[in-house]
Amino acid sequence: MKPLNLVLTGLLVLTAALAKAEILPFDDDNWVFVAGTQIGEQGDQQTLRLGVPAEGAPFGFGLAIAKTAPFTNAIVEYDIKLTKGRTFGGLRFRVQGEGDFEDFYLRGHQSGNPDANQYMPQYNGVASWELYYGPQYSSPSIYNEGWNRVRMAISGDLMDVFINDMEKPALTIVLKREEQTGGLALWGLTLGGEVWYANVDVQPMETVEIIGTPVPEAAAQAGTVMNWEVSEAFDGTTASGDAQGLSFSSIVTETTGMLNLGRVQGLAKGKDTAYARLIINADSNQTKAFAFGFSDRATVYLNSEPIFSGNDAAFSRDYRFLGTVGFWDTVYLNLKAGENELLIAVSESVQNPTGWAVQGRFADMEGIDLK
């Protein structure tokens, strides 16, 4: 087990540290400072800088783990200052281990834009910002040049996020991970700017009032695949359209039809790819349009023959291309009468995972069914 995992696991068994909301001083009694940290003072308040680059490094990442009691529901408040430059700063909560938690963060350089901030769940160490985007997960908040106050009201599968305006939430989020008791951590990533924190309050509660209404997700359209068989992970360079020898599990998608493969397994060197499989029964020889989306890379095989290959990794086309998942591509499946095997080899970066997913939709289901 990695050292950070040991720290986080240990925090889950701590006794209650807070009976009421209070400022958590930035010291060794209240925090585990993992990397890229600097404690200081600004005015009359103690501050913590996260994402301090190592000497000569072009970017910095910092993490501080709170020694508060693990909680399920809570109100968490903090002040954050994001200076000019590409800056990211946020809070991980209900932390189960190094790679499993809920996450909400701000993008300082996107103030006022639709992606000024974002919620994403993380499973098995696989980040997912390419998968959870839009008004359900982000708000076009405008940040102050100095300090901004963030308040997160967490209750069950819902969270209100207030940014500066403490009366009206900037957004209300339906949390994706299973409701669990877990820890809390602050983080910062800097590419030319700085991220500072101050005045962190944590108040665990049995129930927390949620006053906002989530933006509903679009329901899956007719013909959307809602269940896939997913293989164990393997080396993507060996993908050939032959899945013999691999074990598969049946996995239900989210209500939108997207399957976050990070829910199934993590990534490792030599294990960066999984097959998503459909068995299609056709009542005659026919051609069917199949729209699909993936992250990051995919090769599609029909009855062991490759019919498509594509790369949708973030910034793979230009600096504005974010690699978000949608039904962007369509292939025409020349189905034979009887049983057909559709395999999609979906690969993700091990070094910089940004979302590992697949989804698919048939234009119509007439004359076919899925086994």
Alpha-carbon gap, residue 96 to 263, rounded angstroms:
14
Q: If you average pLDDT over residues 56-84, what whole number do you get? A: 95
- Examine residue 221 and state whether it is found in any structural domain, yes or no: no
pLDDT at 19 over 60: no
Strand 248-252 vs strand 227-231: parallel, antiparallel, or unpaired?
Answer: antiparallel
Structure token pair of residue 282? 């056709």
pLDDT tens digit sequence for 285-321? 999 999 999 999 999 999 999 999 999 888 888 887 8
Confidence of residue 11 (pLDDT cuts 50, 70, 90): very low
SS3 label, residue 344: strand
**Terminal-residue alpha carbon distance, the chain:** 39
Where is pLDDT greater, at 3 or 261? 261
Judge whether 307 lies within some domain.
yes
Residues 142 and 291 in one domain: no
Mean pLDDT of 48-52: 98
- Kindly report the backbone phi and psi dihedral angles of residue 136, in degrees, each rounded to the nearest multiple of 5, phi listed first: -70, -25
The tally of domains found in the chain comes to 2
Residue 198 shares a structural domain with residue 237:
no
pLDDT surpassing 80 at residue 1: no
Residues 131 and 246 in one domain: no
3-state secondary structure of 4: helix
CA pair distance 233, 68, nearest whole angstrom: 36
What are 268-286's pLDDT values in tens digits?
999 999 999 999 999 999 9
217 in any annotated domain = no
Distance CA 334, CA 233 (A): 28
Residue 167 lies in a domain: yes
61-70, 202-211, 253-262, 312-321: range with lowest mean pLDDT = 312-321
User: How far lies 368's CA from each of 161, 308, 332, 358, in Å?
Assistant: 45, 21, 14, 21
The range of the structural domain enclosing residue 253 comes to 227-370
Residue 275 maps to a domain = yes
Considering the entire predicted model, what is its pTM? 0.91
Tell me: do 181 and 236 sit in the same domain.
no
**In 103-178, which ranges are continuous DSSP H helix?**
none
In whole angstroms, give the CA distance from residue 356 to residue 347: 7
Type and span of the H or E element at 7:
helix 3-11
Are 160 and 23 part of one and the same domain?
Answer: yes
In the block, tokens 């998608």 appear at 253
In terms of domains, do 231 and 200 share one? Answer: no
Q: Kindly write down the DSSP assignment for every residue of 46-111, as one continuous string.
A: EEEEE-PPPTT-S-EEEEEEE-SPPBSSEEEEEEEEE-SSEEEEEEEEEEEETTEEEEEEEEGGGT
Same-domain pairing of 74 and 197: yes
pLDDT at 46 over 60: yes
Strand duo 171-174 + 183-191: pairing: unpaired
For residue 157, the domain's CATH number is 2.60.120.560
Residues contacting 365, CB < 8 A, separation 6+: 222, 223
- Same domain for 176 and 266, yes or no, is no
Q: What is the mean pLDDT of residues 120-138?
A: 97
Domain membership of residue 143 (yes or no) is yes
pLDDT digits (tens, 9 = 90+) for 215-249: 999 999 999 999 999 999 999 999 999 999 999 99
The answer to whether residues 156 and 66 belong to one domain is: yes
Q: Tell me, yes or no, whether 7 and 148 share the same domain.
A: yes
- Judged against a pLDDT cut of 60, whether residue 140 lies above it is answered with yes
Does one domain contain both 250 and 352? yes
Residues 162 and 277 in one domain: no
